[in-house]
Structure 1
Amino acid sequence: MSSPIIAIDGPSGVGKGTLAQWLCCKTGFHLLDSGAIYRALAYGVSKAGIDLADVDNLVNLAEVLPVEFKATSVIYDGEDVTSTIRTEEVAAIASKVAAIPEVRTSLLKRQKDFAQAPGLVADGRDMGTVVFPNANVKLFLTASAEERAKRRVNQLKNQGVSANIARITQDIMERDERDRTRSSSPLVPAEDALIIDTTDLSIQEVCEKAQNALSEAGI
């Protein structure tokens, strides 16, 4: 492996994105937000009115997905969709699309292409198990559904959006079950991953645990 790779996996709301951004700033590595790729695909599917049962057209869109990452922004076909793809509606579609094996296969090469010098921080659900099984460091973040729902509600409130915590908790649990039981690339920790439960940890404490793992790997 020419450039070091740090794989961060786990369900939504556990702090993967925050940790990934921190590690990128710390190391100067590139960032792969695989979740944003799937959300962008979900946005495109919704925009084009493609039925989720229409696998051929889903794959066709995945193969030519007009998505770009510019700094902290996600650009879809020239449109800034950074905020749009973070809605619960898009997330629900993304989870269903991500469960389709043919779609995952279509997006696999695009994700692998992000591995370039000086290194890569890959944030997703199967980075350490499927996309980069030989990653130098593998981290798997987890947290209770209740805590993750609280974080999501606070995030939405800060954006001026009202939210139902019971509904969000239920959505999270259903999404987790879908991700864990899908036939292609289920959400599971890699055998050699460091598992970090962020339920009762501060961001600083999570970053410190990750930094220790990098130090042990010589990064």
Structure 2
Amino acid sequence: MIVTIDGPAGAGKSSAARRLARRLGFRFLDTGAMYRAVTLAGHRAGVDWDQPEQLAAVAASLVLDLSDSHISMNGEDVTAAIRTLEITTLTKHAADNQAVRRLLTDQQRAFAAGRDVVTEGRDQATVVFPQAECKIFLTAGEEERAKRRFLDLQARGEEVDLAEVLRKQRLRDKGDTERAYGGLAKASDSIEFLTDGLSPEEVVDRLAEIVQGVQAHSGIAAK
């Protein structure tokens, strides 16, 4: 069974999807980490961001390995390195690169083949796994999302300004929704879930209820 969780930046998709996967006994696919890793590799290689073929070549040379809580790039654990504000801001270059998106889409489908998976991103229900049995669109208010991101960055030791985080989030939202290929969009058969005011545990409880409801309705055996 494939469960997709799409939504805008700062909605809490990664943490919610990871916790949900553990609850269900599924594998977790953090597609955002894959784009961030490509971005980190491009940044280290000094690619010209205005020359998309350079980043595509870097992406093609990478071996990405994902576990439920870590990602390695050519054998190096880059779990923390990909979460800085700098890499977050630059990730649009990987996300807007069609060659990179095609490459990572193929890798994501290969990861999920024959497995029970919870996957999160922007285009999981619309592009990567349109056949997914359960599709969820996870969202939250603009200020709520910015506050979450601000607190997360602070917890990682970065000195950030909430207004700047909100400004960059708005730019990212604009880029995500206007992207011609693989942009953020709610699939027609996705279930929308607003997380404002809910604790992480309450979010996972509700997500689990949604998945279990789909399993019951579809006759899919629960774990």
Shorter-chain TM-score range: over 0.9
Asked if the contact 1:39–1:85 (Cα under 8 Å) also holds between the matched residues in 2, the reply is: yes
Partner of 2:54: 57
Query: Is 2:156 the counterpart of 1:162?
Result: no
Partner of 1:74: 71
Unpaired segments of 5 or more residues in structure 1?
none
| 4+ long deviations beyond 4 Å | none
CA offset digits 1:96-134 (Å, max 9, x no partner): 320122221122111101114440111111001100001
Query: Is 2:118 the counterpart of 1:121?
Result: yes
Moved more, 16-25 or 200-209: 200-209
CA offset digits 1:146-188 (Å, max 9, x no partner): 1112112222222333210000000001000000001111101
In structure 2, distance between residues paired with 1:215 and 1:43: 37
In structure 1, distance between residues paired with 2:201 and 2:74: 36
Query: Is 2:136 the counterpart of 1:139?
Result: yes
Partner of 2:40: 43
In structure 1, distance between residues paired with 2:90 and 2:15: 23
| One-letter identity of the residue aligned with 2:191 | L
Q: How many residues align?
A: 216
Judged with a 3 Å threshold, the aligned counterparts in structure 2 of structure 1 residues 55 and 160 are, in CA distance, closer, same or farther, namely closer
Instruction: Return the offset for 1:92.
Output: 1.4
Query: Is 2:39 the counterpart of 1:11?
Result: no
| One-letter identity of the residue aligned with 1:162 | E
Q: Please, what is the CA RMSD of the aligned residues?
A: 1.5
Asked if the contact 1:11–1:176 (Cα under 8 Å) also holds between the matched residues in 2, the reply is: yes
Partner of 1:204: 201
Partner of 1:104: 101
Equivalent residue for 2:23, pick from 8, 26, 39 = 26
Secondary structure, in 3 states, of the residue corresponding to 2:41?
Answer: helix
In the superposition, the TM-score normalised over structure 1's length comes to: 0.93
In structure 2, distance between residues paired with 1:157 and 1:59: 32
Unpaired segments of 5 or more residues in structure 2?
216-221
